[in-house]
Amino acid sequence: MGLFDIFRSTDINEELKTMKETPGAVLLDVREVDEYEEEHIPESVNIPLSNLEKIQDMHYAKDTPLFVYCHSGRRSGAAVMMLRGLGYTNAKNIGGIMHYKKA
């Protein structure tokens, strides 16, 4: 990773392709339940940021590839930091559904 890579935005559509090619990957939507019910990416799991500790009830291995999204990418960024604090070593912020292009 170069110095300016931190300024490059994540392309949720490219990340979804990577997620589909990653064995055992989980697509995690951290928006609130009403937002998820209104619209979500197919096959995603909804655990709101406000209840993220409940991910432990899902019994995912700590190294499960977690591809995390929200509306814009802010909450998913916070979620990745929280997940790392909970011991999940393979969580990645893939951005916001606002940039998602349905296939």
Give residue-wise pLDDT tens across range 45-76.
Answer: 999 999 999 999 999 999 999 999 999 999 99
Q: Do residues 70 and 46 lie in contact, with contact meaning Cβ atoms separated by under 8 Å?
A: no
pLDDT-based confidence at residue 3 (cuts at 50, 70, 90):
very low
Element (H, E) at 29: strand 26-29
What does the alpha-carbon distance between residue 4 and residue 16 come to, in Å, rounded to a whole number?
A: 23
Tokens of 12: 């949720």
In the chain, the domains with their CATH numbers are 3-99 (3.40.250.10)
The closest alpha carbon to 49, from 8, 93, 87, 100, belongs to 93
Give residue-wise pLDDT tens across range 6-33.
Answer: 455 689 999 999 999 999 999 999 999 9
Backbone angles phi, psi at 74, to 5 degrees: -75, -50
What is the model's pTM? 0.91
Q: Known catalytic residues?
A: 70
